[in-house]
């Protein structure tokens, strides 16, 4: 098949560079509502390599807005089904799939990345994607939706605000999934009742389309990227673009942390478990693991360090550890 003929209509757009798309490697995290549209658009546009990541399985309730799936796909893994269907749409591109949780993504998939598309429906996942983008120093385009509302955010590492700098939606809202649990997610879910958020196909396609548009613009270096955050109100057909500011104290991209100047207070003789809880609360972490002088600290240990010591903090919500400097105090200080 003649590749030039396949991409003829887009190639006649002024300043279009199909070769940049052909050589791009894009990681798509989440192949659900917005992810289905983003993956389909990028495949049809001719992005050279797509890595699809989703450990969840297809539920009947997905079929109202996740266009890559059919009735016969119920119970199957989303990334696998999407990969097969996208390869049929465009046999000329390379598609890889990862059917386990994204935190276990092999290094071969992140090496040489051009861009990350975050199509995730939960707050911890979006935070992890954000930290991955900053670790790899590649742009990230993220999208979310709720009923007739949607948003798109573009993160250019260490140039524009990252997801952690100025979260515009409360953690409780962003931590709720918009999809009932598939079998894989049911196995991992907590016993508390899952909150089902309203979602419809038109908003999925609009937000997925806007995300793809931003991705293509970044890949071929045309136009003006979204000024960090775009909000869409479908009920009133209104777009609002917000210019955010970088936070120098952001634990992920802030200059203070980048320069290893940020301090954290530790109390002499306190248990590591108490210290961990304070860090988890301060930085919104799930279960931080702390290393000091190359040793992982046990929760039952007591703090044995001095002011100026550096610790590394790892957490499932971060793709890379953050470094903090200890400021030791006595309990009575």
Q: Residue 322: what are its φ and ψ, rounded to 5°?
A: -110, 150
Give alpha helix (H) positions in the chain: 3-6, 8-11, 18-22, 33-45, 78-89, 107-110, 123-136, 171-174, 183-188, 201-220, 255-258, 272-283
Q: Residue 117: what are its φ and ψ, rounded to 5°?
A: -105, 115
Catalytic residue among 119, 162, 165, 178: 178
* CB contact set of 277 (below 8 Å; sequence gap of 6+): none
Residue with tokens 């936070």: 247
Tokens of 133: 């983008």
Distances (CA, A) of 191 to 56, 100, 219, 285: 18, 21, 42, 20
- What are the start-end ranges of the E strands in the chain? 25-29, 49-53, 94-98, 115-118, 140-146, 149-155, 229-233, 238-242, 263-267, 289-292, 295-296, 310-314, 322-329
Element (H, E) at 81: helix 78-89
Does the annotation mark 250 as catalytic? no
User: From its phi and psi, is residue 9 left (phi > 0), alpha (psi between -120 and 50) or beta?
Assistant: alpha
Tokens of 197: 């958020």
Query: Cα(101)–Cα(53) distance, rounded to whole angstroms?
Result: 8
What is the 3-state composition of the chain as percent helix, strand, coil, each rounded to the nearest 5? 35, 20, 45
**Catalytic annotation, residues:** 178
């Amino acid at each position: 098949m003649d590749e030039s003929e396949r991409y003829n209509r887009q190639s006649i757009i002024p300043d279009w560079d199909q070769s940049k798309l052909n050589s791009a490697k894009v990681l798509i995290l989440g192949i659900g509502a917005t992810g289905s549209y983003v993956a389909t658009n990028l495949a049809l546009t001719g992005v050279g390599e797509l890595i699809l990541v989703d450990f969840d399985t297809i539920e009947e309730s997905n079929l109202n807005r996740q266009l890559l799936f059919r009735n016969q796909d119920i119970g199957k893994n989303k990334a696998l089904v999407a990969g097969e269907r996208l390869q049929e749409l465009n046999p000329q591109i390379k598609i890889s799939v990862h059917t386990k949780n994204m935190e276990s993504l092999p290094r071969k998939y992140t090496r040489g990345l051009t861009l990350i598309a975050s199509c995730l429906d939960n707050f911890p996942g979006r935070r992890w994607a954000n930290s991955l983008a900053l670790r790899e120093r590649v742009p990230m385009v993220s999208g979310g939706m709720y009923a007739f509302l949607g948003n798109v955010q573009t993160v250019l590492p260490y140039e524009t605000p990252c997801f952690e700098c100025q979260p515009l939606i409360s953690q409780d809202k962003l931590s709720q999934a918009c999809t009932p649990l598939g079998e894989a997610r049911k196995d991992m879910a907590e016993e508390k009742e899952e909150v089902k958020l309203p979602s419809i196909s038109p908003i999925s396609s609009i937000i997925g389309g806007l995300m793809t548009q931003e991705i293509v613009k970044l890949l071929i270096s045309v136009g003006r990227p979204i000024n960090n955050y775009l909000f869409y109100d479908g009920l009133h057909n209104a777009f609002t673009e917000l210019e955010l500011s970088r936070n120098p104290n952001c634990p992920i991209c802030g200059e203070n942390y980048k320069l290893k100047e940020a301090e954290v207070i530790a109390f002499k003789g306190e248990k590591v478990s108490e210290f961990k809880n304070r860090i988890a609360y301060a930085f919104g972490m799930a279960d931080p693991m702390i290393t000091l002088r190359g040793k992982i600290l046990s929760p039952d240990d007591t703090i044995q360090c001095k002011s100026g010591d550096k610790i590394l903090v790892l957490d499932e919500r971060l793709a890379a550890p953050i470094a903090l400097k200890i400021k030791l105090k006595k309990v009575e200080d």
